[in-house]
Amino acid sequence: MAYDAKRAVELLRLGSGKPGAQFRDGQEAAIRAAVAGRQRLLVVQKTGWGKSFVYFIAVKLLREAGLGPALLISPLLALMRNQVAAAERMGLRAVSIHSGNQDDWPAVEARVRAGDVDILLVSPERLANERFGSEVLGPLSPHISLLVVDEAHCISDWGHDFRPHYRLLERIVRALPPNLRLLATTATVNNRVMDDLRAVLGPDLAVSRGDLSRPSLKLQTIRLAGQAERLAWLAERLPDLPGSGIVYTLTVRDAVRVAEWLRSKGLNVYSYSGETGERRPELEQALLDNRVKALVATTALGMGFDKPDLAFVVHYQSPGSAVAYYQQVGRAGRALDAAYGVLLSGSEEDDIHDYFIRSAFPTEAEVGTVLVALESAPGGLSVSQLEARVNLSHGRIENTIKLLSLESPAPIVKDRGKWQLTAALVGPGFWERARRLSDLRRAEYRQMQDYVSLTSGHMAFLIRALDGDPDTEPGSPDLPLLPRAPSPGIVREASAFLRRTHLSIEPRRQWPANGLPTYGVRGRIRDGERAETGRALCVWRDAGWGESVYRGKYQDARFCDELVTACADLVRAWKPVPAPAWVACIPSRRHPDLVPDLAVRVASALGLPFHAVLSTTAERPEQKTMANSVQQARNLDGSLATAAPLPAAVRGRACLLLDDMVDSRWTFTVAAWLLRRHGSGPVWPLALALTGHDE
């Protein structure tokens, strides 16, 4: 069809809200190619260039010419919200289908079937849904005028934001008419990712690639091994930075903790992650309006968040690759002459990234365990049923199933909520890809550590990492480098904060599936028989008390007096009601004296009596060897007992129940149930450390 240049400019001005807006270099050529060229095009342009204008203007022109609607594959909910709003500003009827708007699906699907939609936005995971494929995508496919793949680097086997369901696009693209308009966009690819995209989207993929340099960014790297030092640095530097920005962390836990620390120092900041839930749009808007100094965020605040005047991006820890860092730091300074991009680096990030890499793919043993379990169940198994049969965590089971189901041909399929084996086998290509990608990610992380050690040439390094031309690097903006070392006094305050940060232990309210037969319990844990909300002093091996707990358990075989004092201080600050009147502890056959010794000393510090009323009745594997909740609960069934009845002095009175570690919470759950059944008052769990990983 013919391309209407005049109308394209009108749409640009309508969508941008700027009466005099003109296309940037390459924008109009990309729109023309998408509308008139009938070719497959990849647009690689830095964040803020205006890639969304390309596909929204193209869709509007196609619809005004009488062609069918467009389908846009988009990876993040925050990105979809921004995209829908931008499309509507241009007069497009845009709707989305994703995990966050399930109540709207029937109405959205009805509009799609009625032809009342110009562009449908879906997450890649929707492509794996059988009902969506048959009832929505199937009828729509013959009429699609343009397929848009946003953040196309996610197609790559690794890219910098690997999303396994993007692999389904390869099958969909192969089934499409060869002359269907296809537009893919991204800000960050290197040559390896580009090869992956050509393999999926077609060898004749045309590429429109822009300049990678970001002349407005003042980049700096600072290595501060301890979290207290980085907290102190943030508290000192953020108040003096202009405008608003983002502080990125690797985990949800660190996002929450950094935000709490900065708020304690008078800064208006909030945490933002996949667990923020319904508050995410509100917090995004607060940052857009400069009503907060910063959001302390995981990568949940990433692709598609568009704030042209973002004045700084600070990383609390190093990302896993230079490509990922370029994408994240590139959120700053899009419409500013100068903005800061500062990377802080700490000792814990090595372990975090090693965990991320190891957990990205299942092991051969894990795959074998799942396949054997499914082979023994001809009718198939749900994830919860698999948990009862295999000693793998819920996350490992889901990851194994997800990746196996995306193979072609797939060795497992889902039928009526249960996973079943097919005739296909797990081929050697699956394992070769897993090894190759794990090796690639380790190499990319080593490259990122090289970046951390730089004293100059930061932008040129990033451009080389993206296989661009570093000779195009401009000079950096006229901003002073920020001081590298925080003040000792603020570091001491941050250290004290880390040791005051306590975590909740939420009580379990339901026994595991099929219950605990030895104890004769199942279903809901009755009121008056479950634990109260408890507390943990720290996270295992984390900043604050984490290393002290590790040394006490595995090096000194006794917890230090500082931990005893910290536990007593925690209880005094906690002030549970009713207040504990006595202390008990979880027994252990492997370390019979470790926790009782701690409990006796904590009881003495609180002026309370200690009673060793719980005992072990059988030797069981350590709880840490049990990988999921069902296995952990069954491992405890019948293994604990209590004196019957309890001593008269403590019957009906609240108990402080101590243990060194808490993970699944089943030990506290069973122990509290036993104590309540035998006459104790409310049971308040207290652990030295939580274990486990988060986002």
pLDDT digits (tens, 9 = 90+) for 149-193: 988 888 887 666 677 888 788 777 777 777 789 999 988 888 888
Q: Tokens in use for 275?
A: 């667990």
pTM of the predicted model as reported, rounded to 2 decimal places: 0.84
Cβ burial, residue 504 (10 Å; 0-12/13-18/19+)? exposed
Domain spans, the chain:
5-209, 217-348+451-486, 354-433, 502-690
Residue 221 scores a pLDDT above 60:
yes
What is the predicted pLDDT for the residue at 694?
37
CB count within 10 Å of CB 10 equals 13
Q: How confident is the model at residue 669 (pLDDT cuts 50, 70, 90)?
A: very high
Q: How far apart are CA 401 and CA 164, in angstroms?
A: 12
5-209 CATH = 3.40.50.300
CB count within 10 Å of CB 424 equals 14
What is the predicted pLDDT for the residue at 687?
97
Residue 78 scores a pLDDT above 80:
no
Residue 693 scores a pLDDT above 60:
no
Taking only the tens place, the pLDDT of each residue in 564-607 is 999 999 999 999 999 999 999 999 988 999 999 999 999 999 99
CATH number 3.40.50.300 is the correct assignment for the domain at 217-348+451-486: yes
What is the predicted pLDDT for the residue at 473?
59
Taking only the tens place, the pLDDT of each residue in 445-466 is 999 999 999 999 999 999 999 8
Element (H, E) at 253: helix 252-264
Amino acid of residue 407 = E
Taking only the tens place, the pLDDT of each residue in 274-310 is 888 889 889 999 999 999 999 999 988 876 678 999 9
Query: What angle is formed at CA 338 by the lines to CA 337 and CA 342, rounded to 5 degrees?
Result: 155
Residue for token digits 């290393």?
A: 547
Q: Which whole number is the average pLDDT over 120-134?
A: 84
Q: Which whole number is the average pLDDT over 250-263?
A: 94
CATH number assigned to the domain with residue range 502-690, chosen from the 4 options 3.40.50.2020, 3.40.47.10, 3.20.20.80, 2.60.210.10: 3.40.50.2020
Strands of 235-338 (E only): list them: 245-248, 269-272, 294-297, 312-315
Residue 384 scores a pLDDT above 80:
yes
CB 362 within 8 A of CB 242: no
Task: Say which DSSP state 644 is in.
Answer: S
354-433 CATH = 1.10.10.10
Show the 3-state SS of 417-477.
Answer: CEEEECCCCCCHHHHHHHHHHHHHHHHHHHHHHHHHCCCCCHHHHHHHHCCCCHHHCCCCC
Residue 424 scores a pLDDT above 90:
yes
| Same fold flag, 5-209 and 502-690 | yes
Q: Tokens in use for 435?
A: 């090894």
CB 224 within 8 A of CB 233: yes
Residue for token digits 């120092």?
A: 265
Q: How far apart are CA 384 and CA 404, in angstroms?
A: 18
Report the chain's mean pLDDT, rounded to a whole number.
90
Residue 353 scores a pLDDT above 50:
yes
